[in-house]
Structure 1
Amino acid sequence: MTRAEKTEVVNYLTGEFGSVAAVVICDYNGLGVADLEELRGMARQSDAKVQVVKNTLANIALANAEMSGVELKDMNIFIWSDDVIGAAKVAADFAKKNEKLSIKAGYLDKEPADKAKIEAFAKLPGRNELLGMLAATWMAPLTNFTIGLDALRKKREEEA
């Protein structure tokens, strides 16, 4: 990789890491090409991005994006997204399917996070699920009111 290519990768990653809510760092030692493509497909569905990056380049990009506190060792693959829960879910769900991928650490809202914290975020309901719960909660009084009105109508019809 030439110096210009390295600079281009660092600039791209700095921009990406600086504008996202979550970066999950995983060990992918032993994953094949088909497995990596499956991971990328899962990430696309969750609007997340996946890339294997050399540790030196990733350290520079993370430092430029004002993220520090995680030491990069061995082979790493980075999963990042604007949705904290989405990135954590992609990593955790794929790690459940394939034991060769393991979550190491990451950054959630630019703060260092360990494996336990990332897995805890992965267990939370996603954005769409939370919006559905909120809509159901808002609709409950209206639903109960219409059920009550219908019961009152039926009662009046029986009395008549």
Structure 2
Amino acid sequence: MTRSEKIEVISKLEESFKVSEAIVVCDYKGLPTKKLEELRNNARENNVKVQIIKNTLANIALNNSGKTGLVLKDTNIYLWGDDQLNVSKVVAKFEENNDKFQIKTAFIDNEVADVAKVKALAKMPSRNELLAMLLQVWKAPIANFTIGLNALKNKKETE
């Protein structure tokens, strides 16, 4: 990679990291290419970006975007996105199914986060799931009222 290419990569990563709510760093050493493609496809479906980046370039981009404190060592794959729940769910689900894929560290809510926080976020319901739960709660009284009215109507008809 030439110096100008490195500068271009850093600037693109910096822009992307600035707007992302979650950045997760994982170890992928020994993972077959087919599995990496599965991860990329799953991430693409959930609007999560995945890229293998040299640690020095990633460190520069992270520092320039104001996200400092991540310790980067060995081989890393980076996953980031606008929705921290989506990023956490993609990473945690993939880690459950693959022994050679491990979450190392993350940057969530403008601070360095550990593996436990990423896994805790992955267990939380998404926005759409929360809206569906809320809709069910709102719908329940109306449904019970109509069931009661129908039962009353049937009782009056039989009398």
Q: Does the TM-score normalized on the shorter chain lie above 0.5?
A: yes
Question: Are 2:41 and 1:4 equivalent residues in the alignment?
Answer: no
- C-alpha distance in 1, partners of 2:79/2:62? 13
Partner of 2:154: 154
Question: Are 2:93 and 1:93 equivalent residues in the alignment?
Answer: yes
Greater than 6 Å deviation, 4+ residue runs: none
Partner of 2:117: 117
Task: Find the residue that maps to 1:151 and give its secondary structure.
Answer: helix
- C-alpha distance in 2, partners of 1:9/1:137? 48
1:128 positional shift: 2.0
Partner of 1:45: 45
Task: Find the residue that maps to 2:107 and give its secondary structure.
Answer: strand
The amino acid of 1:147's aligned partner reads I
Partner of 2:105: 105
The amino acid of 1:21's aligned partner reads E
The amino acid of 1:12's aligned partner reads K
What's the TM-score, normalizing by structure 1? 0.94
The amino acid of 1:53's aligned partner reads I
The amino acid of 2:55's aligned partner reads N
- C-alpha distance in 1, partners of 2:100/2:69? 25
Worse overlay, 134-143 or 35-44: 134-143
- C-alpha distance in 2, partners of 1:36/1:64? 28
Task: Find the residue that maps to 2:87 and give its secondary structure.
Answer: helix
What's the TM-score, normalizing by structure 2? 0.95
What does residue range 73-92 of structure 1 map to in structure 2 within 5 Å?
A: 73-92=73-92
- C-alpha distance in 1, partners of 2:127/2:100? 28
1:91 positional shift: 0.6
1:157 positional shift: 1.4
- C-alpha distance in 1, partners of 2:61/2:149? 61
Give the number of equivalent residue pairs. Answer: 159
Partner of 1:59: 59
- C-alpha distance in 2, partners of 1:64/1:135? 42
1:124 positional shift: 1.2
* Structure 2: gaps (5+ residues): none
- C-alpha distance in 1, partners of 2:150/2:124? 37
- C-alpha distance in 1, partners of 2:40/2:95? 13
Deviations 1:91-122 (A, max 9, x none): 11111111111001111122210011111111
